Structure 1
Amino acid sequence: MITCYLRYVIDPDKTREFEHYGKLWLPLVAKFGGTHHGYFMPSEGANNIALALFSFPSFAAYEDYRTRSFQDAECQAAFAYAKETRCIVSYERSFFRPVFPGGH
């Protein structure tokens, strides 16, 4: 299993728009075989940092999701919404291997 960690720098005046963007992606990751662990919005501390975590069974499955998402109308609409609202300033993507009780 591979977990994608996304760290977003968002426009603090557009948190509502970014939250909407996140809600668009929750079912889309599942549509392509992943498990979304949620978006995490600023609360205390920095007002312009948000996070997202989602997992796929393998890095190959994640790459398939990425390829297919660029051909999917709903995914393209979500990308367009973020661009249109300019709620995301920048982001960085990292990958992790989760450790669970009794797992490998």
Structure 2
Amino acid sequence: MKINNLEAMYKGWFVGDFIPSIYSTSDIEIAVKYYDCGDYEESHTHKIATELTVIIEGEAKMNDTIFRKGDIITLLPGDETDFYALSKVTTVVVKYPSVKNDKYISEK
């Protein structure tokens, strides 16, 4: 048995083609992310990867749409979104494939 801690991972990402990683693979990335109320991630897109975000707790706004506990958001390659935490928020994010440098910040 191996034991690790999410706090030792980069921004909650613990599976994927990066270091540190619990399981290194180019097939998929998985993260558990925690946000405080008011946290913001600027608008971005991925050219190759599909990104799935599950709201585990709290409320967040993405592209002016409010999402709550249980909502699952699928972003296909080329879809653009930002992320604003309306409360404390916990998410699980799955991105596939795991492609380095596939995050493009919007020029808005």
Q: TM-score, normalised by structure 2?
A: 0.36
Q: Which has the higher strand share?
A: 2
Q: Which has the higher helix share?
A: 1
Comparing both chains, which one has the higher relative contact order based on Cα–Cα distances under 8 Å and sequence gaps of 6 or more? 1
